[in-house]
Amino acid sequence: MSILIEIVGVIIILMAFRALVAQDRSERMFYLNAMSFGFSALIALSIPTPFGAIIAITYFVTSTLSSNVIAYSIGRVKNEIILEE
């Protein structure tokens, strides 16, 4: 189990680095979303009880909802017309 936690931790660190280096905002969102899934996996692997599973599921669902809201907002901002005065 410990090796799985280490592998997920390395993936999260890699995604954090890629998010810092990314030039495009949508690319950054992809990496942040992958990090979010990694955090829910770490929670599930670190707390091997039914309550840990509930916490991991709750974190996964709320992070997915927030990712969708952010992506929707970015899409709306791109579609807005900027009027100069």
pLDDT in tens, the chain (85 residues): 688 888 888 999 999 999 899 887 777 878 888 888 888 888 888 888 888 888 888 888 888 887 777 777 777 766 666 656 5
DSSP designation for 24: S
Are 63 and 40 spatial neighbours (Cβ–Cβ below 8 Å)? Answer: yes
Domain ranges (residues) in the chain: 2-79
Are 47 and 55 spatial neighbours (Cβ–Cβ below 8 Å)? Answer: yes
Q: Which two tokens stand for residue 42?
A: 């770490």
